[in-house]
Amino acid sequence: MRIKACRKAHFNAAHRLYKKEWSDKKNEEVFGKCSNPKYHGHNYELIVGVVGTVDPETGFLIDLKILKEYIKTEVEDYMDHKNLNEEVEEFRELNPTVENIAFVIWNRLRDKIPIRYDIEVTLYETPRNFVIYKGE
């Protein structure tokens, strides 16, 4: 039986979307308010889904305490209350869009969660705007 277990999490972070080769004016045209040179914050809501087969002996898909711990170390401790552009290594060159943040979170969790599970990352940047990344 294939099933998906999910855990929700939350973090706050600051970012600026821009390309350094572009003028402030062009950055504002493309990235809008998210290109503010003084940075700004978002309240990110995260849902991590783990898909796989239930262990018939325990009835568990995955020990959710372990999933909770990986989300804490790989996402919350790593990104919460950080300036993503300046303090999170993956975004030194990569624009911290919600798409790229979901991609980075997926990759960090992929390194920890056993390969027998598929992973889905849903990341909300605002209550109405979100992305889903499944590693495809």
The CB-nearest residue to Ni ion is: 34
Q: Is 34 part of the annotated catalytic residue set?
A: yes
**Closer residue to Ni ion in complex, CB, 61/123:** 123
**Closer residue to Ni ion in complex, CB, 42/67:** 42
Among 34, 113, 119, 123, binds Ni ion (CB under 5 A): 34
CB of residue 16 vs Ni ion: minimum separation in angstroms? 8
Q: Which residues make Cβ contacts (< 8 Å) with residue 2, sequence separation at least 6?
A: 51, 52, 53
Q: Which residues make Cβ contacts (< 8 Å) with residue 123, sequence separation at least 6?
A: 44, 45, 46, 47, 98, 101, 102, 105, 130, 131, 133
# residues contacting Ni ion (CB under 5 A): 1
Q: Is 125 part of the annotated catalytic residue set?
A: yes
Q: Which residues make Cβ contacts (< 8 Å) with residue 70, sequence separation at least 6?
A: 109, 112, 113
**Closer residue to Ni ion in complex, CB, 17/67:** 17
Selected catalytic residue, list 10, 29, 81, 99: 81
Give the binding range for Ni ion (CB under 5 A) out of 1-9, 32-40, 57-65, 71-79. Answer: 32-40
| Cα separation, 2 vs 26, whole angstroms | 47
| Cα separation, 8 vs 52, whole angstroms | 18
Q: Is 69 part of the annotated catalytic residue set?
A: no
Residues noted as catalytic: 34, 81, 125
Contacting positions for Ni ion (CB under 5 A): 34
